[in-house]
Structure 1
Amino acid sequence: MLADAAAGISRSLVIRGEAGIGKSALVEYAAAAPGVRVVRGGGVESEAELAFGALHLLLYPYLDRLEGLPGPQSAALRAAFGQIEGPEANRFLVGAATLTLLAELAAETPTLVLIDDAQWLDRSSSDALLFAARRFHADPIAVIFAVRETVPPFMTPGLETLRLDGLPSAAATALLDERAPGLTVPGRTRVLTESAGNPLALIELGTARRDAERAGHADPVHEVGPLPVARRVQESFRTQIAGLPAGTRTLLLVAAADVGAGVDTILRVAGAFDLTAADLEPAEQAGLVALSTDRLTFRHPLIRAAAYQQASHHQRIMVHRRYADALTRPEHADRRAWHLAAATTEPDERVAAELEDTARRAQHRGGAMAVSAAYDRAGRLSVDPAQRARRLLLAARAAYDAGRPDRATRLAAEAAALTDDNGIAADATHIRAQVEYERTSPAADAALALTAAELVVDDDPVRAVFILTEAVCCARDAGRRDLLERAVGQLKSLDLPDDSPLLPHVAAQIAWADLLAGRCDPAVDAMAAQVREARTGTADYLHEVVAAFSGVLLADDASAAAVMDTAADRARAAGAVQWIPYIMEPLALAQLLGGAFLDAETSVAEGVSLGAELGMDTQVAVLRAVSVWTAAVAGHEDRSRALAADIGPLLTERHPVHAALVSWGLAIGDLSAGRFDPALELLDEICSGTVAYDFLLRSVPDHVEAAVRGARTERAAAHLPAFEQWARRGGAPQAAALLHRCHALLAASDDAAEEHYLAALRLHDGVYHRARTQLVFGEWLRRRRRRTEARTQLLAATTGFDRVGARLWADRARVELAALGKPQAAQHSDPIELLTPQELQVVRLAAAGHSNKEIGARLFLSPRTVGHHLYKAYPKLGVARRIELAQLVL
């Protein structure tokens, strides 16, 4: 790792194992590496509820560099550290700022970031550090997390892991003989067995056993019994602590109750118990703690745990109370609140109010999990049931925002059970609904959202709009017309002001029910108005996404993509990363259905990357359904079918709209390869299914072509009336062009067929669909021996398919050309197709004039990684300079 980092290849590693197994030894080994800057931090158990506490300690020596970060990142990090007042810090922007700051340090000299005891990092700090660690690629930096296995576990998806086991027998024996010589054979055997190769256990248990044997005492290892190794070692430490003077034990308890406290604070609290630094000397002589000018350090975290746990509950309460008395300065308000909470055993509104203030400060800093923990404890200490319910609801919302769905559901249910307030019950039910989208299905989300909306539909119609919008979207995803009609019924009953900006969106959501039931006439105008409204850029993310879906449903792909491009840019700039996977869904669909396959794959890649990181399994599968289609049209049939097999079962169970998209993608593979019968069977299922009037209605032209080319003309027009009604009423040129192609394929006379083909070509506004029409038109012309005209159409089709990377379609067109006696060799595709999705994003932004630093801030990459992507892209594109990109790409 260290060698790779020095060579400019970023690496991250998680070292996992039980207490005492040697994680810290490896961390110390890494820290001693020559020629690297070491940036070191770690988790502290007593500070796990302080938002960004660990990150602040890690980056504190480099805060003078914040001015050099992109503005939004700098502001987010300053807000997270409490340096500035202003808008609430965004946790994703804090992660991006961490990435940029560490990357800039690495640009100066190879850098090693060491995080020990990562299991005790506050959630905000761990999120920021993991966000950064996953995005280093071409920077001379290595990141190491040392993690003790705990319950719940510290999750590090996407990072390489090294699990440490016990020492092998020979090494364990050698270590024991070195550190605890003179053991009897039975004692030696017992220690080797009980320690299970754990180095700390070998040393501590071996030493204890040796001392007991020399003193003629009972066997301390045997007394501990069959406990886990860490517990055995902790019991050994507890025994050592129990032998210390009472004052020393109390002073160790004071130090253990707040590991982050400085020596001055520890001694001030100890003074309340008439203790001084002299009382610490026996613990120092025993090697349990070390004292420096400003810090007291336990030799091992298990010693701290033993010092805290050996005290009685009353003693702990007294120590926490003394800390609360000592921490009176404003900058200590959060630690004081938590000490008060630890010292309080029954409801106390004063303490609850202080914790609520802590929660608000944590919210301003962007620490969602710290917010949840503080509101949760404040709720437990609330005297008034209504206050308790309100605080627990706020804890539930923060837990959901932090990506802790189980905790969010539990707290939401508890809050709702404590009150008759419909607003609280509605919000609690809405949180549970949002959790169910990923946990169960969109249908479960819609059902709960409807229940939530019913509680506020009369008293708070604005809140009801947002909840019902979610219900409509999820009912559509699930193909549940019954739930959709219920949601629309509630939307119709809302009493909104005549000037409410939500009215166009409400009208469009009502219109969805008509369109998805096959009633185009009453739906189109309201949906088109919503799309126009969204293009002004004044809507919130939710309604922008919904408007983009309206555009896709109307075949207004350009408008849908424009709305989502704007929303994506805003979300990236604001760090609203949780919205990006949802934004990428309608964007990728609009690009896919418009024939921009490489753009669709780029959108999918960005959405999948962030969705997987955020635990959005359902949304990731929804996005990957687009890839089934793009892989099929590109001729990667094995990949297309493997991907369909992977995500198909989940989508069939949860998300029938995109399950049908998967089937459509497979049908495209069959159709483009000339396998008309299997394509027809798949398309029949789509066009006859429960979601046939969704954007899947746009599969009807493929159904017509498969039936006609497969000589099954009796089935060709089965679904055409619905498509024709939609195409004529929707008004999109692309829809009208596809309708003309269908009529051309089914025309009873040559004159009528040719008229429809030519009309379609006049209306097409995309390369792919134009090429599809040129292909079938060329085939039609060849069969009528109009060879020159056929060749013209087939050559144009081949060129178009090559241009968009539709290889199987291009091969089919070449077969037709060969039948004319004019075989054409396969053409090189557009060089842009050689780029990865990430490279394409970087190249396009560079071509638009953005610097590497600006591109990095926008895509959450380090500037050096941006440069690496450009370095790899240049030879693929055949350019040597950045200035050449604009002409090639834009």
Structure 2
Amino acid sequence: MPVSPIGGGDAATLTGRRAERAALDRLLTDVRAGESRALVLHGEPGVGKTALLDHLAGRAPDCRIARVAGVEPEAGLAFAGVHQLCAPMLDHLGRLPAPQRHALRTAFGMSDGTAPDPFLTGLAVLGLLSAAAGERPLLCLIDDHQWLDRASSRTLAFAARHLEAEPVGVVFASRAPDDDLAGLPELHVEGLGDDDARTLLGTALTAPLDPRILDRIVSETRGNPRALLELPRGRTPTELAGGFGLPGTHPSGRDPGDGFRYRLTALPAGTQRLLLLAAADPTGDAALLWRAARHLGIETEAAAPATAADLAGFGARVRFRHPQIRAAVYEAASPSQRREAHHALAEATDPETDPDRRAWHRSQAAPGPDETVAEDLERSANRARSRAGFPAETAFLERAATLTLDPARRSGRALAAAAAGIQAGAFETARDLLRVATAGPLNEAGRAQADLLRARLAHVTDRGGEAPLRLIRAAKRLAPIDAKAARAAYLDALSAAMATGPLATPGGEVQEVARATAGQQPPHRPEAAPDLLLAGLAANVPADHATGGPVLRRALVAFDTPPDGDLRSLWAAALAALHLWDDTRYHVLTSRYVRLARASGALGELPRALDARACGLALAGDLTTAASLTEEARAVAEATGTRPAPCAALCVAALRGRSAEAPALIEVAARRGEGLAVTVADWANAVLLNGLGDYPGAMAAALRSLGHQRYPDAGHLGPASRAAPELVEAAARGGMDATADEAIRWITAMAGACGTGWALGIEARSRALRAGGRTAERLYRESIARLARTRLRPELARAHLLFGEWLRRERRRAEARTHLHTAHRMLEAMGMDAFAERAGRELRATGESTATGDGELTAQEAQIARLARDGLSNPEIGTRLFISARTVQYHLRKVFLKLGITSRAQLDRVL
């Protein structure tokens, strides 16, 4: 059965709403063309009116945005809303006729006087909006209009009706249109369609959900976005349990209140029992409900009072008016009443077509330990995982352990539940289950498994230096008992050692772990992909690329056919692809890693999978998507209580040239004590400083990154090797020829062994930095040709930049401009600001402008340029235009590039 899509979306993206977005786009187009437009958005609370206003504002960076939101406590304060909207425009007050100016000043409490004339106040607001729109198009967004004070409501509606040939748009968002807004164009905002509602719900879920349960949620929320997004809050994945969980947790963490309970207690007893049956069944299956009702002797007439009270509907599907009502019904029942309802539902569920849900209802109906039910749950656990991921498997196995009386069986089931819980990211649940397991009798295999699970739990939650040693000890203990499980544990230990690096506890260093894995291959052939990976990684630790690379390459070829089983091996496989400089396989492996982690609800793996995928996207130049995935990884990590190192965030900050952001992230990585993060942090610092032109600092950072392994005596597993090209560039530019040459020798040996376009392109670029004449030119051109056939657009852009810099020094300015323009366009498009500025400086040194088009400024750029020419500082310009000083600097940079200048002093000449 397919699972619902989860995660992976950009939180800022508006889901669905094609008709509404089209209407807002038409309004915006008309306003930009100089025509005034008004629109009233109305719909129930939470339906997405504010999101539509946000969407409109985001679509109009060239417009001035004025916003106001009605607040219920201020509904009695006359003109409070108008003042909130118009206060930033009061510098135009002097342009109004004296009577209008006096009326508005009186309304705002700026002057003494009698109550202002409503007509004059309306004309004054109209004039103020018109004057503000003279600078650039104006959008007035009025949210929660129903809470606006009456004077403001009438005044703003008056202005909206009387604006004519002005570039002004006025959009109201209200629960329902009232008399003040009569006559203005309206757009009713309804709940999302089913497909869009499923998509939105998927962004809020951290684990898969059974499609039948998802359909019921969509139905009961009627596509209301707020209800869809609030439903999973406060619930762990195992509580949701893939739809098998109980409805007792309130979706938004709020008690539904005494109102629902009062309405429930006023209903006939048969109706209350029928509603409890409906609440206990997560599927909304009407046929199942009525079979269960007959089992309890409940007549069909019992539905009528619930329908009349507008609590639930009983059609082809059973649907509560709101999920909170369902929760209130379930919580209002006593434990014995709930068990009765679940027993009836179990009896009504077909054991052939839906054995898992029957087992679940039987488990909730059991008053105490019941081995028969526990066995059913155990049999259902694997099927539950295939339907709804590790959280559902954890829930089934945990409940099975709870219902088990025999101590040995209870310990075994608790161990299995703990293993699933670690994968599901339910770490506290896993700890509790391990305590249950070890409290009972365990054989040697059980004790070894418990040791392994404790070590895995410590690794995913702590990432500390002790994890590799604990994992290798558990693997050794498992080896004589279960060779396959032991090999998986050895791979875990090696992965942990690579992540921990030089910060590992003695005995857990990567070299020690690699030695311990020797001879762990299975006796049978052909070898499985994870087994080949274990052998390949172990072989590469003490050896160089030429010696260890072929074994690792065989492993990656085996991963081209997705292996069954362990999701955890994909992180190590992706690291192996980095080691071999294979960007294509890294892309495939990290994409698969994220997809499988999401689909299986493996929240214990998802943050690391997202981080690995984001690193690949950043290296490919898609910094926006990479940053989005890092945010998703952070959110999942917070939900599960883990602390992943910010490797991808470091990568994004470094490539963007964010000198203010990167050092803080580097400090966080160092504090967390994960060696891989420290290595990445030093590499990121080298990239950042090369972009900024700080070559001594870049060389020091690159040497630190490489120094975490035995450079230059061996290959580098994963990210460390990425620092070698940074070292070459920094050392060559800093005149440290011997250092550059040593790094080039290492890169040449690596590239010869790996043979990928990425490796060979980097080799050619690095060698070109130390070559001269025709040799340098040939190598630069080879680098560009090879890197152009990879996904690595930042590396390609940097090759163009270095070649352009070399050509300029050779006084071949015309050719230099071609490559520098290419580099500048690529770097600017990717948001690699530091390198783009470096390319811009080189272009200007050739006498060329860095203009990317015809040199024309946008309206906002022209306004910022004029204010800067007139001597205003960035903060002053930001205050005037209601944008941040940082945004002002961003636009000024684009102004300088378009106009081919380098300072504010030149603005007066070119404007």
TM range (shorter): 0.5 to 0.7
Report the counterpart of residue 656 of structure 1 in structure 2.
675
- Give 2:734's aligned amino acid: G
Report the counterpart of residue 557 of structure 1 in structure 2.
583
Question: Kindly tell me: are residues 494 and 666 of structure 1, through their superposed partners in 2, closer, same or farther at Cα, counting changes over 3 Å?
Answer: closer
Shift of 1:729: 3.3
Shift of 1:441: 0.4
User: Any conservation in 1 of the 2:385–2:393 contact (CA below 8 Å)?
Assistant: yes
SS of 1:2's equivalent in the other structure is coil
Work out the CA distance in 2 between the residues paired with 1:809 and 1:651: 26
SS of 1:523's equivalent in the other structure is helix
Report the counterpart of residue 822 of structure 2 in structure 1.
799
- Pick aligned residue for 2:493 from 453, 471, 483: 471
- Pick aligned residue for 1:631 from 653, 656, 659: 656
Counterparts of 1:587-598 in structure 2, within 5 Å, are 587-590=613-616, 592-593=618-619, 596-598=620-622
- Give 2:681's aligned amino acid: V
Map Cα deviations across residues 458-498 of structure 1 (whole Å, 9 max, x no partner): 34332223222222122111115744334433432325134
SS of 1:787's equivalent in the other structure is coil
- Give 1:803's aligned amino acid: M
Shift of 1:561: 2.3
- Pick aligned residue for 1:730 from 754, 778, 800: 754
User: Any conservation in 2 of the 1:734–1:763 contact (CA below 8 Å)?
Assistant: no
Query: 2:523 aligned with 1:488, yes or no?
Result: no
Map Cα deviations across residues 831-883 of structure 1 (whole Å, 9 max, x no partner): xxxxxxxxxxxxxxxxxxxxxxxxxxxxxxxxxxxxxxxxxxxxxxxxxxxxx
User: Normalization by structure 1: what TM-score?
Assistant: 0.57
Map Cα deviations across residues 232-257 of structure 1 (whole Å, 9 max, x no partner): xxxxx9xx9xxxxxxx9999999999
Deviates more, 1:543-552 or 1:532-541: 532-541
Map Cα deviations across residues 665-709 of structure 1 (whole Å, 9 max, x no partner): 233232222222322332232232348634322322322322332
Question: Kindly tell me: are residues 357 and 712 of structure 1, through their superposed partners in 2, closer, same or farther at Cα, counting changes over 3 Å?
Answer: closer
- Pick aligned residue for 1:759 from 752, 762, 779: 779
Query: 2:531 aligned with 1:506, yes or no?
Result: yes
Map Cα deviations across residues 766-793 of structure 1 (whole Å, 9 max, x no partner): 254455445445545544xx412x5414
Shift of 1:555: 1.7
Work out the CA distance in 1 between the residues paired with 2:704 and 2:236: 50
SS of 1:5's equivalent in the other structure is coil
Work out the CA distance in 2 between the residues paired with 1:807 and 1:302: 54
Question: Kindly tell me: are residues 510 and 577 of structure 1, through their superposed partners in 2, closer, same or farther at Cα, counting changes over 3 Å?
Answer: same
Report the counterpart of residue 213 of structure 1 in structure 2.
none
- Pick aligned residue for 2:434 from 396, 412, 415: 412
* Ranges in structure 1 where 5+ consecutive residues have no aligned partner: 13-28, 40-58, 77-89, 130-145, 157-162, 166-197, 205-236, 241-247, 285-289, 310-315, 830-890
Query: 2:830 aligned with 1:808, yes or no?
Result: no
Map Cα deviations across residues 518-539 of structure 1 (whole Å, 9 max, x no partner): 6333211112222333334557
User: Any conservation in 2 of the 1:770–1:797 contact (CA below 8 Å)?
Assistant: no
Work out the CA distance in 1 between the residues paired with 2:295 and 2:589: 60
Counterparts of 1:362-761 in structure 2, within 5 Å, are 362-363=384-385, 365-366=387-388, 369=391, 371-441=393-463, 443-480=465-502, 482-502=508-528, 505-517=530-542, 519-537=544-562, 541-565=567-591, 581-590=607-616, 592-593=618-619, 596-598=620-622, 601-603=624-626, 605-606=628-629, 608-609=631-632, 612-613=635-636, 615=639, 617-619=642-644, 621-632=646-657, 637-638=658-659, 641-646=660-665, 648-650=667-669, 652-690=671-709, 693-694=716-717, 695-713=719-737, 715-717=739-741, 719-746=743-770, 750=772, 754-761=774-781
User: Any conservation in 1 of the 2:45–2:175 contact (CA below 8 Å)?
Assistant: no
Shift of 1:442: 5.9
Report the counterpart of residue 47 of structure 2 in structure 1.
5
Work out the CA distance in 2 between the residues paired with 1:385 and 1:809: 64
Map Cα deviations across residues 553-611 of structure 1 (whole Å, 9 max, x no partner): 12222333244446666777888787665445445445545xx212x542453464266
Work out the CA distance in 2 between the residues paired with 1:304 and 1:818: 72
Question: Could you tell me the percent identity over the aligned residues?
Answer: 19
User: Any conservation in 2 of the 1:472–1:484 contact (CA below 8 Å)?
Assistant: yes
Work out the CA distance in 2 between the residues paired with 1:97 and 1:683: 52
User: Any conservation in 1 of the 2:494–2:513 contact (CA below 8 Å)?
Assistant: yes
Work out the CA distance in 2 between the residues paired with 1:588 and 1:117: 28
Question: Kindly tell me: are residues 121 and 487 of structure 1, through their superposed partners in 2, closer, same or farther at Cα, counting changes over 3 Å?
Answer: closer
Work out the CA distance in 2 between the residues paired with 1:491 and 1:357: 34
Question: Kindly tell me: are residues 416 and 590 of structure 1, through their superposed partners in 2, closer, same or farther at Cα, counting changes over 3 Å?
Answer: same
Question: Kindly tell me: are residues 487 and 339 of structure 1, through their superposed partners in 2, closer, same or farther at Cα, counting changes over 3 Å?
Answer: same
Question: Kindly tell me: are residues 760 and 472 of structure 1, through their superposed partners in 2, closer, same or farther at Cα, counting changes over 3 Å?
Answer: farther
User: Any conservation in 1 of the 2:627–2:649 contact (CA below 8 Å)?
Assistant: yes
Work out the CA distance in 1 between the residues paired with 2:340 and 2:241: 31
Work out the CA distance in 2 between the residues paired with 1:514 and 1:796: 42
SS of 1:92's equivalent in the other structure is coil
Shift of 1:511: 3.8
Work out the CA distance in 2 between the residues paired with 1:321 and 1:368: 29
* Ranges in structure 2 where 5+ consecutive residues have no aligned partner: 1-42, 55-173, 179-186, 282-288, 306-310, 789-793, 855-911
Question: Kindly tell me: are residues 367 and 586 of structure 1, through their superposed partners in 2, closer, same or farther at Cα, counting changes over 3 Å?
Answer: closer
Question: Kindly tell me: are residues 324 and 510 of structure 1, through their superposed partners in 2, closer, same or farther at Cα, counting changes over 3 Å?
Answer: closer
SS of 1:366's equivalent in the other structure is helix
- Give 2:688's aligned amino acid: G
Question: Kindly tell me: are residues 800 and 518 of structure 1, through their superposed partners in 2, closer, same or farther at Cα, counting changes over 3 Å?
Answer: farther
Work out the CA distance in 1 between the residues paired with 2:757 and 2:541: 21
Map Cα deviations across residues 711-750 of structure 1 (whole Å, 9 max, x no partner): 4446545655544443343334543444454445446xx5
Report the counterpart of residue 94 of structure 2 in structure 1.
none
Shift of 1:406: 0.7
Counterparts of 1:108-123 in structure 2, within 5 Å, are 113=227
Question: Kindly tell me: are residues 554 and 100 of structure 1, through their superposed partners in 2, closer, same or farther at Cα, counting changes over 3 Å?
Answer: farther
Work out the CA distance in 2 between the residues paired with 1:556 and 1:116: 42
**Coordinate RMSD, CA, aligned:** 5.9
User: Normalization by structure 2: what TM-score?
Assistant: 0.56
User: Any conservation in 2 of the 1:347–1:381 contact (CA below 8 Å)?
Assistant: yes
SS of 1:823's equivalent in the other structure is coil
User: Any conservation in 1 of the 2:390–2:421 contact (CA below 8 Å)?
Assistant: yes
Query: 2:98 aligned with 1:98, yes or no?
Result: no
Shift of 1:813: 3.5
Work out the CA distance in 2 between the residues paired with 1:547 and 1:391: 31
Work out the CA distance in 1 between the residues paired with 2:208 and 2:325: 35
- Give 1:798's aligned amino acid: H
Between the two proteins, the alignment pairs up a number of residues equal to 638
User: Any conservation in 2 of the 1:251–1:270 contact (CA below 8 Å)?
Assistant: no
Map Cα deviations across residues 497-527 of structure 1 (whole Å, 9 max, x no partner): 342332x653443443454456333211112
- Give 2:44's aligned amino acid: L
Question: Kindly tell me: are residues 306 and 657 of structure 1, through their superposed partners in 2, closer, same or farther at Cα, counting changes over 3 Å?
Answer: closer
Question: Kindly tell me: are residues 691 and 661 of structure 1, through their superposed partners in 2, closer, same or farther at Cα, counting changes over 3 Å?
Answer: farther
Work out the CA distance in 2 between the residues paired with 1:565 and 1:448: 30
Question: Kindly tell me: are residues 390 and 6 of structure 1, through their superposed partners in 2, closer, same or farther at Cα, counting changes over 3 Å?
Answer: closer
User: Any conservation in 2 of the 1:371–1:395 contact (CA below 8 Å)?
Assistant: yes
